[in-house]
Chains A and B, each alone.
Chain A
Amino acid sequence: MATSVGRRKTPNYQLRRTLSHTAIYLVLVLGAILVFVPFAWTISTSLKTEAQTLKSPPEWIPNPVQWQNYPDALTARPFGRYYKNTFIITILSVIGQVLSSAVVAYGFARFRFPGRNLLFIIVLTTLMIPFQMLIIPRFILFKELGWLDTFLPLIVPNFFGGAFSIFLLRQYFMTVPLELDEAAKIDGANAFQRFWSIMLPLARPALGAVAVFEFMSTWQDFLGPLIYLSSDRNYTVSVGLAAFRNDYFTAWHLFMAAAAVAMLVPLVVFFIAQKYFISGVTLTGAGGK
């Protein structure tokens, strides 16, 4: 309807339109190149010999191509073990985060109880507290519990709901028509049954978004594992990668090979689950309104 009110399609207008479109594509391509240069540089370096990495000016094409860097890098430290650790921590964190946040979000979205709004405001406020501010007392708490150098400090807190996930899921639950609940109620379903068999199946996109966000944030976490895990066999990929850097100073061909592999897992997850990311980020942005 709005399109008919545009400008007249004179040849001059057409030309300007084509030109501006070309300019937009040029800028977009340039931006994409800027995004890709660091990736390309990583891959290029990861296939060079050490001698070739120390050439100035730098060369882009590895010559000879040294595939051996990958096995060398991944065995220089027990990276296989680090990946296994990171997967265990990540999978359990995702399960805990999704389940507990969904339960809590359902409570906020579907029941009326005294103090509900105040409590929800508190949930939102905790979003603003960087977890970094509480590392000292939490470290002491986990030390007292005897959980240091185990995965528990990284996993267990996820089973009590995350503020961001609760917020995102509640927003989504609110959009699900109440009539479905009412119908189930008449059929005699109790609150938990309504949550489990009516709401959860309907909320799959939002649950997916929460799961992928939690996956990424656990996979990316560095400070937590750095503080809580002290023995090498418990390290996560990030902590192992940082330690690897400190073992050698200039083995950039190996660092880049290890970094490339570390980037691969989240990239694969991203490609598989990209629609959840986009819808999730969009839901977040709606929070600004």
Chain B
Amino acid sequence: MSETVYRKKRFNLFRPGTWSASQAEAVSGYLFISPWIIGFIIFVVGPMIGLAWLSFHRWDLIGDPRFVGWRNYERLFSDKLFRKSLEVTILYGLGRVPLGVIVALATAILLNQKIKFVGFWRVIYYLPVVLPPVAVSLVWTWIYNPRYGVLNGFLNGLGLPSVSWLDDPNLVLPSLMIMAVWGAAGRNMIIYLAGLQGISKDLYAAADIDGATPWTRFWRITLPLLTPVIFFNVVTGMIDTFKLFTQAYVMTEGGPQNQSLFFTYYLWRTAFQEYRMGYASAMTMVVMVIIIILTLIVFRSSKAWVFYEAEVKDGK
């Protein structure tokens, strides 16, 4: 950069001096990220345009797509199953996300109490996270089996009546939530544990001098400082809810009474069982808008409840 050399320029892309240092740097940068750019265009932008286009057509994969204008969207408004699938998905998310946060956070706080063998406990609680969902779904279907399952066996042993778990329209979602917390709490626990370990000990020491109880310390120090991590968890948890498929496919087939008709399962059924590609595309478009709105709401609300240390430092 410091030395400027005058040369007679002949056009050669690769000759030193053709490009200034910053231009050369930019070219290298673009070259390095080019795989992502190409992939982004082929596997994200292209499909998105295709999705929008398809949503105005009718197509069963055979023959040519037929343009139908807004008819797919109009039909969505009176599609009871579509509404049901949104209801089920959002209801599940509203239960599953907070439940997951509480369980993972509580476990992380326990592990942060100067106990022995933290590494051992961490591994134990993380185990379910690595399992394939199809295998897990099979196992839990058997655990929840109303007649021969171990859960009802346990309840009966305590003198309690059997419960129909997955076969009961009111219990199918809570049952799936319990299973999901079992399967995922470990991952979030590790994230929280890292967050907890990042909190300065001086803050707690100062609180001790002021005579704070463990309860106030939790509400005034631990929780506020963890809100960025919790926020991250809420956003990813919410998006995960819209991905839910395997459980519905393996365990419930959307039932009973469509009470576990998760959106992705309904989407799969419409597109790949009934081959209504256009209609399923319109469905996806609507849900993408819903996800964007939900994400914006969460991000907006984050200003009120997420605490960033850096902001305070910069502000003063």
Q: B131 is contacted by which of A134, A223, A263 (Cβ under 8 Å)?
A: A263
Q: A104 is contacted by which of B22, B33, B231, B271 (Cβ under 8 Å)?
A: B33
Q: How far is the CB of B117 from chain A (nearest CB, A)?
A: 9
Is the CB of A269 closer than 8 A to any CB of chain B? yes
A32's nearest neighbour on chain B, judged by CB, is B124
What residues of chain A lie closer than 8 Å to B242, measured between beta carbons? 130, 132-133
Over the window 29-49 of chain A, the binary record of Cβ atoms lying under 8 Å from chain B Cβ atoms (1 yes, 0 no) is 001101111110110010000
Contact indicator B125/A285 (Cβ below 8 Å): no
Once the chains are docked, how many angstroms separate the CA of A254 from the CA of B115? 40
In A99-116, which residues have CB < 8 Å from any B CB?
Answer: 100, 103-104, 106-108, 110-114, 116
Over the window 250-289 of chain A, the binary record of Cβ atoms lying under 8 Å from chain B Cβ atoms (1 yes, 0 no) is 0010011011101100110110001001100110111111
What residues of chain B lie closer than 8 Å to A74, measured between beta carbons? none
Contact indicator A103/B32 (Cβ below 8 Å): yes
Known: A112-B26, A266-B132. A259 touches B264 (CB 8 A): no
Over the window 115-142 of chain B, the binary record of Cβ atoms lying under 8 Å from chain A Cβ atoms (1 yes, 0 no) is 1000001111111101111111011101
Once the chains are docked, how many angstroms separate the CA of A179 from the CA of B185? 40
What residues of chain A lie closer than 8 Å to B229, measured between beta carbons? 285, 288-289
Q: A7 is contacted by which of B48, B138, B208, B233 (Cβ under 8 Å)?
A: B208
Contact indicator B239/A103 (Cβ below 8 Å): no
Contact indicator A111/B28 (Cβ below 8 Å): yes
Is the CB of B209 closer than 8 A to any CB of chain A? yes
What residues of chain B lie closer than 8 Å to A113, measured between beta carbons? 25-27, 29-30
Once the chains are docked, how many angstroms separate the CA of A99 from the CA of B291? 31
Once the chains are docked, how many angstroms separate the CA of A2 from the CA of B199? 13
What residues of chain A lie closer than 8 Å to B107, measured between beta carbons? 31
Segment among B74-82, B215-223, B276-284 that sits at the interface with chain A: B276-284
Q: How far is the CB of A133 from chain B (nearest CB, A)?
A: 5
Known: A24-B115, A27-B110, A138-B47. A281 touches B246 (CB 8 A): no
Known: A45-B142, A266-B132. A108 touches B280 (CB 8 A): no
Q: How far is the CB of A188 from chain B (nearest CB, A)?
A: 12
Q: A41 is contacted by which of B32, B139, B232 (Cβ under 8 Å)?
A: B139
Contact indicator B40/A122 (Cβ below 8 Å): yes
Contact indicator B48/A134 (Cβ below 8 Å): yes
Once the chains are docked, how many angstroms separate the CA of A146 from the CA of B231? 42
Main secondary structure of the interface of A (DSSP, over half): helix
Is the CB of B171 closer than 8 A to any CB of chain A? no
Q: Which of B132, B136, B157 has the most CB of A within 10 A?
A: B132
What residues of chain B lie closer than 8 Å to A270, measured between beta carbons? 126-127, 130
Contact indicator B135/A107 (Cβ below 8 Å): no
Over the window 42-57 of chain B, the binary record of Cβ atoms lying under 8 Å from chain A Cβ atoms (1 yes, 0 no) is 1110111011001000
B49's nearest neighbour on chain A, judged by CB, is A137
What residues of chain A lie closer than 8 Å to B143, measured between beta carbons? 38, 41
A55's nearest neighbour on chain B, judged by CB, is B148
Is the CB of B295 closer than 8 A to any CB of chain A? yes
In B267-308, which residues have CB < 8 Å from any A CB?
Answer: 267-268, 271-272, 277, 280-281, 284, 287-288, 291, 295, 308
Given contacts A28-B121, A32-B125, A58-B149, 10 further A-B contacts (CB under 8 A): A35-B127, A58-B148, A129-B288, A133-B284, A195-B32, A252-B145, A252-B148, A259-B138, A259-B139, A289-B228
The 8 closest A-B pairs by CB, nearest first: A160-B39, A107-B32, A288-B232, A111-B29, A285-B191, A137-B47, A137-B50, A113-B26
List 28 A-B residue pairs with CB atoms under 8 Å apart, sorted by A's residue number. A35-B182, A54-B148, A58-B149, A104-B32, A107-B31, A111-B25, A112-B26, A113-B25, A113-B27, A114-B26, A128-B291, A130-B239, A130-B264, A132-B243, A135-B271, A139-B272, A220-B131, A223-B268, A241-B132, A241-B135, A252-B145, A252-B148, A259-B139, A263-B131, A263-B135, A278-B126, A281-B187, A288-B191
Tell me the A residues contacting B by CB distance below 8 Å: 2, 5-7, 21, 24-25, 27-28, 31-32, 34-39, 41-42, 45, 53-58, 100, 103-104, 106-108, 110-114, 116, 119, 122-123, 126, 128-141, 143, 157, 159-161, 166, 191, 195, 216, 219-220, 222-223, 226-227, 237-239, 241-242, 245, 252, 255-256, 258-260, 262-263, 266-267, 269-270, 274, 277-278, 281-282, 284-289
